[in-house]
Amino acid sequence: MIAGDAAGESGGPRILLGISGGIAAYKAAELVRRLRAGGATVRVVMTAAAQAFITPLTLQGVSGSPVRTALLDATAEAGMDHIELARWAEQVLVAPATAHLIARLAHGLADDLLTTLLLATAAPVTLAPAMNQQMWLHPATAANIALLQARGVQLVGPEAGEQACGEVGPGRMAEPATIAAALLAGVAPAGQPALDQLARPLQGRRVLLTAGATHEALDPVRFIGNRSSGKMGYALASALAGLGAQVTIVSGPASAPPPPDLSLLRVESALEMHRAVMQRVAACDLFVAVAAVADYRPADPAAVKLKKGAAELELRLVRNPDILGEVAALPRAPFTVGFAAETDDLERHAAAKLAAKRMQMIAANLVGPAAAGAGFSADDNALLVLWRGGRQALPRLPKADLANVLAGLIAARYQVFIDGNDDAGAS
């Protein structure tokens, strides 16, 4: 380490702050101030685009150290080169982290100083994402974030709310005070949970989720069922748990393996599922109905196995309770998300169901010939998500990726709901 650099060291944690090019970059000066006030020594690296939003001179002023902007900087290389800087850092923070920076990091690109440092460092990396809400919800960004999280990268935010572009949704950079608190806590040996918590918008929320099919008994060995595999419900349950929710699954028969670490209650029929849900619904904040529930059941299931005899057999069916409809109509209904599987005219049917069942969100997908390999039992799915006043088409993706994006959307809409700004709210 060169002498001049050591002069600025506080003895506190050494944090390397990378700034990429988003409007939230203007908050970086405040962030540096707060990190230093917390005892950290901060060095700043900026991408070319970041300099359009805030000048290196400002950050040099607040950090008390020269700011690095270029990989090939003859003067800087003589002092602290990128490898030395990567080794110096005890924590690397990128704030704001744009969609482009996140994509470059996910794919291991090293085409400027910041991305090179991110590859060269062994220090824990934390990102404070900031971008337009559509960009945050885009499956490409979701997949990149999932990849980075799997590699141990931590997130602080983003938060949901009003954005610089005028839209409302998830993608706003967490406040500098929040990021600084998370980082400083994260540097402390027992502080890691603080970071986790900030990336968990559903922390402490209780989710009741139905999944799988139902079997409606004809006799003790035969039933009327459907092709639901449980894959989408289980993937969504895991994704919601990943956002901090405490998830209970009420599952009908399913061929997919359930998530091993979540509470699971097995049921067979729609009536059993109805009973299990109604017993637990008062204790949940969100109800997510992914199960493919039979609308009808045999009126008089036989007590013993039916014998073959006559050339024709008539079955009389009676309606099952509509679990989702009943939950959504409760006086103190939870935030309710339904699914709709349709063979045609997806948006019209889904919009009609959203209104008729008075739920907050509906995720609709095509099934049957129109779905071509997506939908029931398949590994991929595509969804059209509707809420009152908004919609988002999620392209065909593996169900686990789709579930992550959908869980993010649910968390964002839930936040709007509890903030009381949702006109489809419980009122």
Torsion angles phi and psi, residue 364, rounded to 5:
-110, 140
284 is catalytic: no
- Residue 201 to residues 55, 136, 137, 242, Cα–Cα distance (Å): 33, 15, 15, 10
Q: Which residues pair with 425 in a beta bridge?
A: none
| Closest distance of CB 210 from ligand C5P, Å | 6
Q: Which lies closer to ligand C5P via its Cβ, residue 123 or residue 284?
A: 284
Catalytic, out of 109, 110, 165, 224: 165
Q: Which lies closer to ligand C5P via its Cβ, residue 187 or residue 236?
A: 236
Stretch that binds ligand C5P, among 96-104, 151-159, 250-258, 336-344 (CB under 6 A): 336-344
Regarding 219 and contact with ligand C5P (CB under 6 A), the answer is no
Q: Which lies closer to ligand C5P via its Cβ, residue 114 or residue 208?
A: 208
In angstroms, rounded to a whole number, what is the distance separating the alpha carbons of residues 210 and 218? 23
Other beta carbons within 10 angstroms of residue 307's beta carbon come to 7
Report residue 367 as tokens: 């099934």
Regarding 211 and contact with ligand C5P (CB under 6 A), the answer is no
| Closest distance of CB 280 from ligand C5P, Å | 14
Q: Which lies closer to ligand C5P via its Cβ, residue 112 or residue 216?
A: 216
* Position among 320, 365, 404, 415 found at the interface with ligand C5P (CB under 6 A): 320
Q: Which lies closer to ligand C5P via its Cβ, residue 118 or residue 232?
A: 232
Q: Are strands 286-289 and 206-211 parallel, antiparallel or unpaired?
A: parallel
Q: Say which residues have a Cβ less than 8 Å from residue 391's Cβ, sequence separation at least 6.
A: 347, 384, 385
Q: Which lies closer to ligand C5P via its Cβ, residue 96 or residue 230?
A: 230
In angstroms, rounded to a whole number, what is the distance separating the alpha carbons of residues 392 and 50? 30
293, 298, 301, 306 alpha-carbon torsion, rounded to 10°: -110
| Closest distance of CB 121 from ligand C5P, Å | 45
Stretch that binds ligand C5P, among 64-72, 126-134, 177-185, 338-346 (CB under 6 A): 338-346
| Closest distance of CB 274 from ligand C5P, Å | 7
Q: Which lies closer to ligand C5P via its Cβ, residue 89 or residue 250?
A: 250
47 touches 111 (CB < 8 A): no
Q: What is the DSSP secondary-structure string of 72-108? A: S-HHHHHSS-HHHHHHH-SEEEEEEE-HHHHHHHHTT
* Position among 210, 228, 229, 336 found at the interface with ligand C5P (CB under 6 A): 210
Report residue 272 as tokens: 């059993």
56 touches 88 (CB < 8 A): no
Q: Say which residues have a Cβ less than 8 Å from residue 113's Cβ, sequence separation at least 6.
A: 45, 47, 68, 69, 70, 71, 73, 82
Q: Which lies closer to ligand C5P via its Cβ, residue 131 or residue 386?
A: 386
Stretch that binds ligand C5P, among 124-132, 150-158, 201-209, 316-324 (CB under 6 A): 316-324
Regarding 155 and contact with ligand C5P (CB under 6 A), the answer is no
- DSSP strands (E only) in 102-259: 125-129, 154-155, 159-162, 168-172, 206-211, 216-217, 223-224, 246-251
The SS3 assignment for 250 reads strand
Per-residue contact string for residues 286-315; x = within reach of ligand C5P by CB under 6 A = ---x-x-x-x--------------------
| Closest distance of CB 314 from ligand C5P, Å | 23
Stretch that binds ligand C5P, among 221-229, 337-345, 390-398, 417-425 (CB under 6 A): 337-345
Regarding 270 and contact with ligand C5P (CB under 6 A), the answer is yes
In angstroms, rounded to a whole number, what is the distance separating the alpha carbons of residues 373 and 377? 9
Regarding 324 and contact with ligand C5P (CB under 6 A), the answer is yes
Regarding 328 and contact with ligand C5P (CB under 6 A), the answer is no
In angstroms, rounded to a whole number, what is the distance separating the alpha carbons of residues 76 and 66? 9
* Position among 172, 297, 353, 399 found at the interface with ligand C5P (CB under 6 A): 353
| Closest distance of CB 338 from ligand C5P, Å | 4
* Position among 45, 340, 350, 416 found at the interface with ligand C5P (CB under 6 A): 340
| Closest distance of CB 143 from ligand C5P, Å | 26
Torsion angles phi and psi, residue 2, rounded to 5:
-80, 155
Catalytic positions, written as ranges: 165
Q: Which chain residues interact with ligand C5P by CB under 6 A?
A: 210, 270, 289, 291, 293, 295, 320, 322-324, 338-340, 353
